[in-house]
Every structure is written in C-alpha cells, then in structure tokens.
Structure 1
Amino acid sequence: MITLRLMWGLLVLCVVAASPRRYARQAELDNYGNNNVDLDLNEDGDDVYDYYNGIDEPQIEIGTLSPDEDIDPSHHASLEEEEEEEVEHEKRRTVEGREDKELPIKPQLIPSGFGESGTLMGPSAQGGMATCMLCTCLVGSVYCDDLKLDRVPPLSKETTHFYARYNKIAGISKSDFANLNKLKRIDLTSNGISRIEDDAFFGLPALEELILRENSIRQLPALAPSMTLIDASHNQLGSTGIQREAFKDMSGLLYLYLTDNNIDHIPVPLPDSLRSLHLQNNNIQMIHEDTFCNPHDLNYIRNSLEDVRLDGNPINLSRTPQAYICLPRIPVGALI
C-alpha cells in the first residue's frame, strides 16, 4: 500500500510540474510593449495586432475607402424598385424602336464627288415611291435594270449615269431628262421604245453616250455635238430614220453603231474623230468615193477610222476601191 501511495504521489507531482504556471502568461502580457508588438481591441473586443510596428519597411495603412462622390450612399434601391426601373427602360426602348421603323424613308441622291459608292440614296418620285427605293443609286449613277418600268422615273439633277435596260418603256418625252445638265450616259437597251420626241436628248449639254439598242425606234432624234458614243443597233431606222448630216457637228464622236436597221446608205459626212463604224446587216448597196475619203485631196488619210463593218450588206467592196483608199484598214465585208 505504501508503495502504491508513493507512486500515486509522484504521478500527481509530475502532472502539476508539467502544467503551465499562471504568472508566465501574465508576464508575456506585461512584456508586449518591449517586443514592439502593440495590442489593441477593436469594437467587438477581438485582439488586433500591429505586427509592422517598429519594422524598417513602409507602413501599410489600413482604412475604410471613401464612397464615390457620384453615388449617394444614403440611397439604396430596393429589388422591387430596380425591377420597375428595368421594365420602364424596356418599354422606352420598344417605343423608340417602333418609332424608328415607322419613320418614312426619304432618300436623296448624293451629288457626284460626295460620299462613297454603294450608298442607296435617290430623288423623291413625284406622287410615288422614291426612285432609289425601286432602283439602285450609287452616287451619281442610277440603275433601274429589269424592273418592268413603263416610263423613265424622276431623276435628280445630280444624276450623271442612267441605266434602264430590259424594261417596258415605250416612249421618251423631252420632260424625262429635262434640266439634267450633268447627265453623261443613258442606256435604254432592250425596251419597247418606238417614239422619241425630237428634243428629248438635245438639251443635255453633258451627254456623251447614248445606247438605244434592241428597241423599235424608227426615227433617231437630234443629238448634242458633245456625243462620243451612239449605239442604235437593232432598231427600225430604215432609209429615212436618220436626219441629214446628223453626225456632222459631233467633233468628238468615236463610236457609231447602227447594225441591223435596214439602212440603205452610209450617213455622211462622218466626223474625222470617228474610230469605229458598225453598219453590218443593213441594206447598203453603194459606197461613194467621198464617203470616207476626200477625192480633191489625194493625200488625205483618215487615221482614226480603223474599224469599219459592212458585212451582211448587198455590196461588193472590190468594185469601189477608191472609196476607202484613205482608210488605215479595208472595211470588213464582201470582196467578191
């Protein structure tokens, strides 16, 4: 028994000796100031330590960020208010979208030299759809091909090129192109044109190219001296459809195409500027010596006219060699 009591006593002493003494914890608390560690209490009573006090590094100052000046911290929208605001915003967007869709389109043709190609703009048609809502307008050019038009649509004064091929236009009046002082090219290929008022194209000071292929024209109208290209092939001009000396004053005319018109003569005089003359498949039976050359000036040479087509006519070119001796090339046609 004595031995058991001694062993129990030694065990108790070992346990007591191993447990920390209370004054050691108190001594640590008393020495915090000497170890450069400051102890503070926050509002909740938790210990806050400044471990950077006394260290030779930049101090990091921890604080509360100030609120943005543009935000009122006193106002916090509730979830319901935010949802209502979002609904009102969507309604406004819907209304604005409807207004944009309901606005009528008022196209205006961009003057030549302004803007870029590909812009769909155009003049307002009188009492109808804007021309360029139907046609395609690229700066000064208006394209109205294959739209089943039965008349020339209203054009802006800034129009420079007009194309209305493969339509059903039956007639051209002088009002169709009135006051279009910048118009340079008109292409009315493959319509049903059978009548053209004589002044329809004459009052266009800038007009240079007129294409009237594949129509039913019986009378070629008067044209301005500024012309460089005339193509009236595949019509019905016949022997009286071209006015006398119709091309005499066109000092800049380069290309004259009158194929398939049942013409029985070459429309002389031809300007010296002419480069290409197509008269194939007509009814021409004779070429005179002064048709191309000057019988009074044997040194005269028409250097520009290199392309003359007379094939398909009832004429033998070998019978009148003096008629084209001044040309740089022999006309295309029957030689025997």
Structure 2
Amino acid sequence: MQEVKQTNHINTECTSPPFYKPIVTASKAGGLNFITQHFRPINCSLKCIAYLLLTSLSCLSVPGMPTCLLCTCLGGSVYCDDVKLTSVPPLPKETTHFYARYNRITKINKGDFAQMNKLKRIDLTANEIASIADDAFSGLPVLEELVLRENGVSQLPALPPVMTLIDASHNNIGATGIHKEAFKDMTGLLYLYLTDNHIDHIPVPLPDSLRSLHLQRNNIQMIHEDTFCNLKDFNYIRNALEDIRLDGNPINLSRTPQAYVCLPRVPIGAHI
C-alpha cells in the first residue's frame, strides 16, 4: 500500500475563514503520493481589517460590556483610566469597582449607573465633571465609596446611606452645594473629604461613625457649640472623630472651645 502524506501551508497573516481558500494539488516523489493543500489569501489585509472592525463594534454593542478596546476588566473591577473618555461607558452588571480617572467626562447622567446593584466604589478623579444628576448614585444599593476629586462639581448629589467614604475635594461646591442633613443617615460613614471648595459651614449632623473630616481651604467662618457635640448630653463623647482639618479657613478655633469638649483631639486650624 502506498503511503499518502498531507501537508498544509497556511498563510499566517489570516488563518480564519473567510480570509483564505484551499488549493489542493497531488504529486509523487520517491514512490509516495503527496497531497498538498495550500491556502491562498483572498484580499487578506482588507478582510482582516474589516473583520477586526466588525468584531470591535459588535463587542461594544453587547449589553453590559465596557469599551472593550479601552478599558481593562479584572474580576469585578473595570479600569478606564486616562483613555480620553467623554462619558461613562457601558459597564458589565457584575462590576464592583469602577475607575475612570484622568479622562474628559463632563457630566454624570441619571442612567449611567442604572441597575448596577453590585457596584461598591466609583472613582472619577480628575475629569471635567460640572454636573451630576441628583439621583445618579442614590439607587446603588451597595455603593460605599465615591471619589470625585479634581472636577468642577458644584452640587454634591444624593447618595445611598451605606457610604463609608466620600471624597469631593478640589471642586466648586459652595454654600448651597450640599443637601440639608445629607450625611445624617450614613451610619457607617468613616471618611468625608471636602477640601478646597467654597463651603461656608460644616454640614451637620455628622454621623457618630465618622473618623476623618477634611475641610481645609474653604470659607468656614463659624463653628457652633453643637457642631460636633451634644449640648443635651454632657457625657457624650465622640470617640471616633480623631482627624478634623480646618486649616486654611477664615476662622479662629479658640473662640469656641466648648465645641470641642467631646472630641478626642482639637481640630487642626488657626487658634489665634
């Protein structure tokens, strides 16, 4: 019986249909029959480009998929840092942490994070955000950390009560930029950073859980005796709040000594 050998010579530029078609030839050598199958490219480069383009577009059209070519997904975390985004991209429903720092996002719409029921952290540091729909984040049931540093936000939106960290430093938040009693129901809030804004008062009431309050370089001119303490309970001690920064405000902290009697440490700021 004569041995038959088959060899394939595949063009490596494009090895998936429809980028090639087989050309079969038969030959003899050394008493053996050889069947050789060649793959001849058919406008390979153009077809490859077209295929990749269609693949990219189809990827973007899949519900819940992020901007595949720009963002990196690792487990539940989606990283879209410094990729010139101008809006929030579609996100997988399983996303738990979203990072889109150093982009050109200008606004946050109501539906940008709709039905993101597992989202725990959003970091939008250093964008160009000037407006945020008031209910853009309030419907996120497990959102704990929101970072909006270095934007142009003038109004802090409503947030869910499970927040542990809020950082809206270096924005344009003014006297009316924070909802009344905005943090009252956030019983697990630990860190509140509002440095370098235009705030003229300390937003009260502050939850007992709060550990760190940064309000440097604002326009706070007065602290009331009940800002931190409970005037109705002289035994009240706010043990958790050990880090209060008020330096850079036009206020003399020594004028209201009774405002700090319940604190483990006196706030940092001007005392003269």
Range into which the TM-score falls when normalised by the shorter chain: 0.7 to 0.9
1:212 to 148, 164, 173: 148
| Cα deviation 1:6-46 (Å, max 9, x = unaligned) | xxxxxxxxxxxxxxxxxxxxxxxxxxxxxxxxxxxxxxxxx
Separation in structure 2 between the aligned mates of residue 125 and residue 172 of structure 1, nearest angstrom: 21
2:67 to 128, 131, 134: 131
Give the alignment's TM-score, normalised by structure 1: 0.67
Aligned to 1:192: 128
User: Which of the pair has more CA radius of gyration?
Assistant: 1
What amino acid sits opposite 1:251 in the alignment?
A: T
CA root-mean-square deviation:
2.7
Alignment of 1:39-188 (within 5 A): 74-77=1-4, 78-79=28-29, 84-85=34-35, 87-88=36-37, 90-91=38-39, 102=51, 105=55, 124-125=60-61, 131-188=67-124
Give the C-alpha shift of residue 161 in structure 1: 0.6
Separation in structure 1 between the aligned mates of residue 32 and residue 118 of structure 2, nearest angstrom: 60
| Cα deviation 1:48-100 (Å, max 9, x = unaligned) | xxxxxxxxxxxxxxxxxxxxxxxxxx224542786843x31x539x89x9999
Separation in structure 1 between the aligned mates of residue 70 and residue 127 of structure 2, nearest angstrom: 18
Aligned to 1:41: none
1:234 is aligned to 2:234: no
Separation in structure 2 between the aligned mates of residue 308 and residue 91 of structure 1, nearest angstrom: 72
Higher helix share: 1
Q: Secondary structure at the match of 2:153?
A: coil
Contact between 1:225 and 1:249, CA under 8 Å: does it hold in 2?
yes
Separation in structure 1 between the aligned mates of residue 144 and residue 260 of structure 2, nearest angstrom: 28
Separation in structure 2 between the aligned mates of residue 228 and residue 330 of structure 1, nearest angstrom: 23
Higher strand share: 2
Aligned to 1:264: 200
Give the C-alpha shift of residue 133 in structure 1: 1.9
2:254 to 300, 307, 318: 318
Aligned to 2:186: 250
What amino acid sits opposite 2:72 in the alignment?
A: T
Contact between 1:168 and 1:192, CA under 8 Å: does it hold in 2?
yes
1:202 is aligned to 2:202: no
Separation in structure 1 between the aligned mates of residue 155 and residue 31 of structure 2, nearest angstrom: 79
Note closer, same or farther for the CA distance 1:130–1:199 as it changes in structure 2 (3 Å cut).
closer
What amino acid sits opposite 2:29 in the alignment?
A: L
Separation in structure 1 between the aligned mates of residue 57 and residue 32 of structure 2, nearest angstrom: 42
Unaligned stretches of 5+ residues in structure 1: 1-73, 109-122
Note closer, same or farther for the CA distance 1:81–1:231 as it changes in structure 2 (3 Å cut).
farther
Give the C-alpha shift of residue 132 in structure 1: 2.5
Give the C-alpha shift of residue 139 in structure 1: 1.3
| Cα deviation 1:277-317 (Å, max 9, x = unaligned) | 00000010111111000111111000000000000001111
Q: Secondary structure at the match of 2:122?
A: strand
Note closer, same or farther for the CA distance 1:289–1:107 as it changes in structure 2 (3 Å cut).
farther
Unaligned stretches of 5+ residues in structure 2: 5-27
Compare relative contact order (CA 8 Å, sep 6+) and give the higher one, 1 or 2: 2
Which 4+ runs in 1 deviate beyond 3 A?
A: 80-84, 97-108, 123-127
Separation in structure 1 between the aligned mates of residue 29 and residue 57 of structure 2, nearest angstrom: 47
Note closer, same or farther for the CA distance 1:82–1:142 as it changes in structure 2 (3 Å cut).
farther
